[in-house]
Amino acid sequence: LDLCVSLICWLLLVARGNGKPTERRPRVHQEEPLSVLQHDDKQNFDYDHEAFLGQDEAKAFDHLSPDESKRRLSIIVDRIDSNKDDFVSEDELRLWIEAVQSQHMFEDVERQWSEFDLNRDGLISWDEYRNVTYGSYLDGPLTQTEYNYTHMMARDERRFKVANRDGDLSADRQEFMAFLHPENHEYMKHVVVQETMEDIDKNGDGFIDLKEYIGDMFTAENGLEEPEWVASERQQFSEFRDKNQDGKMDREETLDWILPADYDHAVAEAKHLLYESDSNKDGRLTKEEILNKFDLFVGSQVTNYGEALLRHDEF
């Protein structure tokens, strides 16, 4: 959402202006995991699927039969039930989801590590990352390109330096994880805000006004009616985003928008799964209740959005 994930993400962000004008475009930065889709289980479970794996990978669990999905999900339930009382509590769900999220980031680092640690010294230097990511551009910059690689490289270098806490310009695995996933590291949040504002603040005044806020997600075209969600976002901006009511968002307001301190995605997902599956409303889940809702769980963060069910060596 693997080679050079950071660069790919930036390319997607730059290219997003080519999307359909009535589609809500993804925001510059969002705390993982999120999806640009509406969370409406009455329609489907696509939000749960896409939020973690992405649009293509979210379909992975479809390759399993319902019986096989239930069998493998049953094994996962036993792992979630950490105190072995034959019930899964909201807290156990939360802890499991957090562990899955952490494992996802760890695996992301491991998948890319050998590509960038060219001298195999157990560290990734900025020079190594730059040469692998931008080598072809550095060897012979194109005179015409839709992407500003010089600007992207400068931003990557700035983020790399912030992630590299000891200042030696060589990242260990934890620092490289912070570079790849800055939204999930407290000391990286000011970089997330800075990058967000640079991308959305088109007039360069250091703030995000309503026009820029809407323009980040939607571009009007002649003859097309504005979709309903745009009006809702305008209201969100006026009533919740612009807290001091000065018509624009400053850095603190932007931080609260993209990385709200009062919202925990793992807690929200755990509450969601419990609410949807707890048929007797006793505040905890039995294995039977979970298996009865297997289609929800194989598309949720609990099973790494279906990915864990496809790992034959684990089952």
The Cα–Cα gap between 295 and 267 comes to 20
> Has residue 155 got a pLDDT over 60?
yes
What's this model's pTM, rounded to 2 decimal places? 0.73
Of the CA atoms within 13 Å of residue 97, those in its CB half-sphere come to 30
pLDDT band at 22 (very low <50, low <70, confident <90, very high): very low
The Cα–Cα gap between 5 and 108 comes to 9
Please state at what angle helix 126-139 crosses helix 149-163, rounded to 10 degrees.
180
Buried b (16+ CB within 10 A) or exposed e, 4-22: bebbeebeebeebeeeeee
Cross-strand bridge partners of residue 88: 285
> Has residue 98 got a pLDDT over 80?
yes
275 contacts: CB under 8 Å, gap ≥ 6: none
The Cα–Cα gap between 269 and 288 comes to 19
Percent of the chain surpassing pLDDT 90: 50
Residue 55: other Cβ atoms inside 10 A: 13
Written in H, E and C, the secondary structure of 87-124 is CECHHHHHHHHHHHHHHHHHHHHHHHHHHHCCCCCCCE
190-209 pLDDT, tens digit per residue, is 999 999 999 999 999 999 99
- Asked if residue 109 lies in contact with residue 2, where contact means CB atoms within 8 angstroms, the answer is no
pLDDT band at 44 (very low <50, low <70, confident <90, very high): low
Any idea where the domains of the chain sit in the sequence?
A: 45-207+250-298
Mean pLDDT for the chain overall: 79
Per the document, the length of the chain is 315
